[in-house]
Each structure stands twice: as structure tokens, then as C-alpha cells.
Amino acid sequence: MAKNNKKTDTSTGIEENIEALLAYLFGWISGLVFLLIEKKSDFAKFHAAQSVVVFGGLSVLAIIFEFIPIIGKVLLGLTYILELVLWILLMIKAYQKEKFRVPIAADLADKLIGSVKNKK
């Protein structure tokens, strides 16, 4: 949980902490948008990639749980609660210019950023 205090330009002209917060606003969709358009800020790109991994993964889990009788509904409810908690926490941390790393998801986000960089 390293703090990032330097002010860096972004491709959009928005402050990087605001852009990072916006990457979480609409879950994996806004994360994907900022991941594709952001070229300058590693901080904003990390949060965009983490948004794609975290909320994309939770969306896939929710779809799977829909098809499981009884216990699936319980797991679906827990998934929605987890999603809400992470959504609020990650937006707050991004706004505070903190590179908060969700276990497992942050490592996948780092790999995602690396693969996006290699394709450019």
C-alpha cells in the first residue's frame, strides 16, 4: 500500500487520482475505458487494470452463481456485498492517491498493464 504523492499528467488532462477513482466508478467497464485511453500515468493505469480484474472477475462469479441452486443465491448475495465494499474502498484509496493492491487481482493487473504496453 505505497502512497503516491507526485502529481503526474494523464492522457485525459484529469488529475491522476480523479482518473483512478473514475476507473472504478462503473466497474470493469470504466476500468477498460481508462486502461485503453491512458498513456501517461502508471498510477491511473494500475487502478484501471485492477478495476477490470476485480470487477470483471466478480461479474463472472455472479453469472456462475446464478446457475447454482440454493447455495448459489447465498454466494451471489455475498458477492454483491464484497463488490460494494471493494467498490467504495478502491475509489476512496484511489482518490487518496494510494496504490491499494487487492490480493491476487493486483498481480493480474500488473500483468495486464505489461501486456497492454507490449502491444503498443
Question: pLDDT digits over 37-83, tens only?
Answer: 999 999 999 999 999 999 999 999 999 999 999 999 999 999 999 99
Structural domain contains residue 29? yes
The predicted structure's pLDDT at residue 3: 52
H or E element that contains 3: strand 2-3
The predicted structure's pLDDT at residue 7: 59
pLDDT band at 92 (very low <50, low <70, confident <90, very high): very high
Closest among 25, 51, 58, 18 to 36, alpha carbons compared:
51
pTM, full prediction: 0.86
CA distance 71 to 118: 42
The count of structural domains within the chain is 1
Mean pLDDT of 28-45: 95
CA distance 91 to 97: 10
Q: Please say if the pLDDT value at position 2 is more than 80.
A: no
pLDDT band at 115 (very low <50, low <70, confident <90, very high): confident
Structural domain contains residue 2? no
Domain range enclosing 41: 9-119
Structural domain contains residue 1? no
